[in-house]
Amino acid sequence: MAVCTHLATVEPIPPADSENGCSDCLREGTRWVHLRQCTTCGHIACCDSSPRQHATAHYYGSLHPVVRSYEPGEGWRWCYADQQIG
């Protein structure tokens, strides 16, 4: 397994662009399951268990590689580019 260099270089995390939930779901009037925050730009988006999978869409649109869980009590991060958790 290749070592992910993206997970090691992420900090500081920018301010969240939404305090109320998935920015895209709020705009569309749809719902989400769990939230993720882009560690590059601060965008808050929904996880792949959510109907619209906005966090993954944000990665493909921006190529910002790492998100972190935006759920209370969780501290993990995910690198889309290398498909690794950290």
Q: What is the mean pLDDT of each run of 10 residues along the chain (86 residues)?
A: 79 84 96 96 97 98 96 95 94
- Residue 45 domain-assigned? yes
Residue 46 near residue 24, CB atoms below 8 Å: yes
Domain that holds residue 65: 7-85
pLDDT for 18 equals 85
CA dist., res. 11 & res. 32, Å (int)? 26
- CATH number for position 53: 3.30.40.10
pLDDT for 19 equals 81
Measured on CA atoms in the order 72, 74, 75, 78, is the torsion positive or negative? negative
Give how many domains the chain has, as a whole number: 1
CA dist., res. 4 & res. 64, Å (int)? 14
- Residue 2 domain-assigned? no
Q: Which helix (H) or strand (E) holds 61?
A: helix 54-62
pLDDT for 1 equals 60
SS percent in the chain: helix, strand, coil, step 5: 20, 20, 60
